[in-house]
Amino acid sequence: MSAAIWDFLLMIAEKIGEFFALVFSPLEEVIAPATWTLVSTATLETIMMVIFSTLFSVIIGLPLGILLCVTDPVHGIIPKKVCNQVLNRIVDIFRSFPFLILMVLLLPLARFFIGTAIGTAATVVPLSIAAAPFVARVIETALKEIDPGVIQAARSMGSTNFQIITKVMLPESLPSLVDGITLTIINLIGYSAMAGTIGGGGLGALAIQYGYNRFRGDVLLVSVVVILIMVGVVQITGTSWSSRIMKRR
């Protein structure tokens, strides 16, 4: 992302903060107006981190999850025992790492791609890699829930393995995939907040640096409330989309 675009987004965040300060002016005796500007900027940073890390984790996790399902030695349409075991071990290893430790280990990788190991952009790298194994498991589980009879029917009609995956398995598992991606986004919001303790940006950094270290209770309170609102909005939206997909069947 270029510096000009980022400066433009920060300017928008400042305007949003001024708007919030005006709307919530009755609370200014408890929460300073300048706090809303800080929170709006940090909220924008968190949203950007979550969006890009979700995108990259799905790009990595989607093919990995499909491979885990189709190469299953028992129920897979392309059973490959050795390949499946190797993929399972890789996913299990990355899922077993606590996020903060994994983020520290991936700092050199973030510095290689982004040019820095701290800040909002650098945090996207460990967030994406941390979430990718979770996405893979979510997709694998969703695909395995499909009725085997549907797959057998597609195969009996002459469908290729690629057609079975793209035209049968993925569409049939779409509601479960939406629920899984929703859960991934919620986890990433939590991860992004934890990243603030070791140099990441966003609401987590704001809550630690301004709220906790500087004893600003108003900043800490608003940061937590905004994170809760973000999680609630994501959950409601994801559940709504999943329900709509189910009703259209």
Q: What is the pLDDT of residues 45-56, one digit of tens each?
A: 899 889 999 999
pLDDT at 31: 56
pLDDT at 6: 56
Residue 45: C-alpha distances to residues 52, 106, 205 (Å): 11, 20, 10
Report the sign of the C-alpha dihedral through residues 186, 107, 45, 212, in that order.
positive
Least confident of 1-10, 41-50, 126-135, 211-220: 1-10
> Which residue has 């303790």 as its token pair?
197
In the chain, what are the domains? Answer: 3-247 (1.10.3720.10)
Q: 6 or 153: which carries more pLDDT confidence? A: 153
> Cβ contacts of residue 35 below 8 Å, gap of 6+?
216, 218, 219, 222
Mean pLDDT of the chain: 83
- Written as six digits, the tokens of 205 are 């950094």
Residue 196: C-alpha distances to residues 24, 122, 170 (Å): 26, 12, 36
Packing angle of the helix pair 33-70, 81-96 (nearest 10 deg)? 160
CA distance 143 to 68: 10
pLDDT at 186: 93
Q: Are 106 and 125 in contact (CB under 8 A)?
A: yes
- The model's pLDDT over 80-108, given as tens digits with 9 standing for 90+, comes to 889 999 999 999 888 888 888 888 888 88
pLDDT at 94: 87
Q: What percent of the chain has pLDDT over 70?
A: 85
The DSSP result for 178-243, as a single string, is HHHHHHHHHHHHHHHHHHGGGT--HHHHHIIIIIITTT-HHHHHHHHHHHHHHHHHHHHHHHHHHH
CA distance 51 to 119: 16
pLDDT at 52: 92
- Tell me the average pLDDT across 13-36: 55
- Written as six digits, the tokens of 57 are 């984790």
Task: Quickly state the pLDDT bin for 26 (edges 50, 70, 90).
Answer: very low
Residue 151: C-alpha distances to residues 143, 155, 168, 170, 171 (Å): 11, 6, 7, 11, 12
pLDDT at 30: 47
Decide if pLDDT at 228 tops 70: yes
Instruction: Please give the DSSP secondary-structure letter assigned to residue 117.
Output: S
For the entire predicted model, the pTM comes to 0.82
- Tell me the average pLDDT across 202-211: 82
Task: Quickly state the pLDDT bin for 221 (edges 50, 70, 90).
Answer: confident
Q: Are 194 and 204 in contact (CB under 8 A)?
A: yes
Helix, strand and coil in the chain, % to nearest 5? 85, 0, 15
